[in-house]
Amino acid sequence: MSSRTLALIQIDKKSMVLGGIFVVLNLLDGFLTRILLADWGMEGNPLWPYGGNILAKGLLSLVIAALLVRFRFRTGLWIACGAMVAVVIWNGFLLLFMQNTSISIIPIDYP
């Protein structure tokens, strides 16, 4: 192999760790979303119609992380991980809040 080919194969280890964290955070988000949907039945993300489908979420996050790592876009990985940390914290807050209250997030006249 030429040195150019080897340079294309080499991947930054920090970016790989960030990509792995991004995938794990997405899976955790899917898991928490699945629990919330089972108990209160409403997806809050209009861009993700699959709700708590952990497999789809995991595969999509893996593809996104692989692309960001491959093209050495570490800033994008930091932004994606930060956004997913916020989502996981929000879902955890909702889960704790909903377990400690009798308030439902589903309107009474919901079909």
Q: Domain-by-domain residue ranges, the chain? A: 13-99
Up-side HSE of residue 3: CA atoms within 13 Å toward CB?
A: 0
Residue 37: both structure tokens together: 């949907």
pLDDT along the chain (111 residues), means of 10: 52 86 92 81 70 80 89 88 94 81 54 49
Give the 3-state secondary structure of 45-106.
CCCCCCCCCHHHHHHHHHHHHHHHHHCCCHHHHHHHHHHHHHHHHHHHHHHHHHHCCCCCCC
The CA distance from 29 to 57, in Å, is 9
